[in-house]
Amino acid sequence: MALDPALAARLKRNADGLVCAVAQQRGTGEVLMVAWMNDEALELTLTTRRGTYFSRSRNKIWVKGETSGHTQQVHEVRLDCDGDTVLLIVDQAGAACHTGDRTCFDADVLLSPDPR
Footprint on this chain of a second copy (rule: CB under 8 A): 7, 10, 15, 20, 22, 24, 28-31, 33-34, 45-46, 49, 74-82, 85-87, 89, 97-99, 101, 104-114
The 10 Å CB-count burial string (b at 16+, else e) for 33-50 is bebbbbbebbbbbbeebb
* Nearest alpha-carbon partner for 76 in 35, 21, 116, 36: 21
Cβ closest to a second copy, residue 61 vs residue 102: 102
Comparison of 48 and 60: residue with beta carbon closer to a second copy: 48
Closest CB 69 distance from a second copy, rounded Å? 18
DSSP run (H or E) holding 48? helix 39-48
Taking the complex as a whole, the smallest distance from the CB of residue 25 to a second copy amounts, in Å, to 9
Please, which residue, 24 or 38, has the CB nearer to a second copy? Answer: 24
Q: Rounded to the nearest whole angstrom, what is the least distance from the CB of residue 60 to a second copy in the complex?
A: 17
* Listed residue (58, 62, 81) closest to 72, CA to CA: 62
CB of 104 to a second copy, least distance (A): 4
- Closer residue to a second copy in complex, CB, 26/61: 26
Sequence-distant (6+) residues with CB within 8 A of 39 are 2, 3, 8, 11, 17
